[in-house]
Amino acid sequence: MLIPMKQRNYTLIDQVIVSVDVGLRTLFGRPASTGRANPADAINSNNDTSNSEQETSTELSESEKKHSAALMRVNHCGEVCAQALYQGQALTARDAKVRDTMQTASNEENDHLNWCKQRITDLDSHTSYLNPLWYSGSFAIGVLAGALGDKWSLGFLEETEKQVVDHLQTHLKKLPEKDKKSRAIIEQMKIDEAKHASLANESGAADLPKLIKKIMSLGSKTMTKTSYWL
């Protein structure tokens, strides 16, 4: 189901109800996405040869599994925050084109959300217990950014996406080399996030003050550190 946020005849109350629905789906259900295949599945089919040597080379030890799951939990939490930001910003965006841009990107974020969640489940672990807290905080920040005007909202979005690309790059270094499935998911996410940053830039994003960028970076570091463990 596509979220009908872009229909102009929706009242603010309607949009709030839709946002609550999207929030609940993000946290507890399976939210609307583009339906793209999970990149990790391609690794499966590549290994269809049932070559036992190849299987052994990609088999993770218990500690590697735990570490990979924790990193994917961080990424899942990041996608929860991204979804909340997009929803908050879409709620207050003034320009219909900006709202549509955010909607398209938000559906792609849900692909990421679903892929990360699937990978965490496959690694026998759980998503972050703090997700509802992060969703609420990020939603409020999104509403505030949107209320400041589209160019600042887009600037915030562009900076967020750029920071996410850098963050994903560090995760590619931290993930076990053998964890090809998680790596495939992150590689695709990295491509998408860079595209979201360009989209925001092309839509008229303002360059944020350095101090704001620094605060954003500190906020995301707090999220990544806590969701690794919880």
Provide the sign of the torsion angle of the four alpha carbons 91, 96, 102, 103, taken in this order: positive
Shortest Cβ 189–Fe ion spacing (Å): 5
Shortest Cβ 85–Fe ion spacing (Å): 9
Q: Based on CB atoms, which residue is closest to Fe ion, 79 or 150?
A: 79
CA dist., res. 121 & res. 215, Å (int): 32
Footprint of Fe ion (CB under 5 A)? 79, 109, 112, 161, 193, 196
Shortest Cβ 204–Fe ion spacing (Å): 18
Do 142 and 84 touch, CB atoms closer than 8 A?
A: yes
Q: Based on CB atoms, which residue is closest to Fe ion, 112 or 183?
A: 112
Shortest Cβ 178–Fe ion spacing (Å): 24
Q: Based on CB atoms, which residue is closest to Fe ion, 27 or 60?
A: 27
Please give the distance of CA 149 from its chain centroid, rounded to a whole number. Answer: 23
Shortest Cβ 89–Fe ion spacing (Å): 12
Do 186 and 167 touch, CB atoms closer than 8 A?
A: no
CA dist., res. 44 & res. 64, Å (int): 19
Tokens of 87: 């929803």
Q: Based on CB atoms, which residue is closest to Fe ion, 79 or 159?
A: 79
CA dist., res. 160 & res. 220, Å (int): 9
Closest C-alpha to 85, from 175, 188, 200: 200
Q: Based on CB atoms, which residue is closest to Fe ion, 104 or 125?
A: 104
